[in-house]
């Protein structure tokens, strides 16, 4: 990483303006700046990183907020990209994903939900003229991945074949055990990524022991 760089979220409220809580505030170098920023406003000393100075006093006027997402249905623990559109001069943003609020982040973000359900996603923008904020909201349906139905082919020699329909992008862990007496100890055989087609696995074990299999969805 080059001198003066950082990996923290710049907390952009739109394509040009960082929030007043941004780590870009006061993190620039005056030798890199012209007299005025993109908004024809004076730079502070030290200046902010980016093309505009951060000033809460300049964050005034009307605000409108809109929200965009990909498909509004996602499986648990799968990341859903989200993007807001803020028209007007916002000082800061707040995201509420229906399972908790997140402040100090940018107008584009992503979120994962740990449990199934319908979640309201709300983006709120604030400035001096709108201390209570202006919001936009959409609903996201979060569901559990379907449990696959496993079929077992007839053993041939030392070959046993398992197959099951898969969902694209879902991870499947195939496990086995030799004894279903509690406490059952499952061992990992292999892990596969679903492609939307039927997955087929061959077990060429030479052991004569009885084996029980299960497929765990992640």
Residue at token pair 């349906």: 141
State the residue for tokens 């991870």.
171
C-alpha count within 13 angstroms, C-beta hemisphere, residue 42: 3
The helices-and-strands tally (H runs, E runs) of the chain is 0, 14
Backbone φ and ψ for 161, nearest 5 degrees, come out as -115, 130
Global pTM reads: 0.71
Can you list the domains of the chain with their CATH numbers?
A: 64-143 (2.60.40.10), 151-217 (2.60.40)
The two tokens of residue 90 are 């916002």
Residue with token string 């605000």: 63
Each of the 218 residues of the chain gets a pLDDT tens digit; together they read 345 567 788 888 888 888 888 888 878 777 777 778 777 787 887 888 878 877 788 889 999 999 998 889 888 888 999 999 999 999 999 999 999 888 888 999 999 999 999 999 999 999 999 999 999 999 999 998 888 888 887 777 778 888 998 887 788 999 999 899 999 999 998 999 988 899 988 887 656 678 888 898 87
């Amino acid at each position: 990483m080059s001198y003066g760089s950082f990996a923290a979220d710049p907390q952009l409220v739109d394509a040009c303006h960082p929030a007043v809580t941004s780590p870009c505030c006061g993190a620039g170098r005056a030798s890199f700046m012209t007299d005025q920023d993109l908004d024809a406003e004076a730079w502070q000393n030290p200046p902010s990183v980016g093309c505009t100075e951060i000033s809460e006093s300049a964050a005034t006027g009307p605000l409108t907020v809109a929200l965009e997402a990909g498909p509004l249905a996602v499986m648990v623990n799968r990341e859903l990209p989200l993007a807001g559109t803020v028209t007007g001069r916002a000082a800061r943003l707040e995201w509420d994903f229906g399972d908790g609020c997140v402040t100090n982040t940018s107008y584009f973000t992503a979120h994962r939900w740990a449990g199934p359900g319908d979640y309201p996603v709300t983006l709120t923008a604030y400035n001096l003229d709108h201390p209570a904020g202006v919001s936009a909201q959409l609903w996201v349906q979060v569901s559990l991945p379907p449990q696959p139905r496993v079929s077992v082919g007839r053993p041939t020699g030392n070959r046993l074949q398992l197959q099951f329909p898969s969902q694209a992008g879902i991870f499947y862990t195939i496990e086995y055990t030799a004894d279903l007496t509690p406490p059952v100890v499952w061992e990992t055989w292999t892990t596969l990524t679903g492609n939307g087609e039927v997955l087929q696995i061959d077990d060429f074990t030479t052991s004569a022991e009885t084996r029980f299999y299960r497929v765990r969805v992640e």
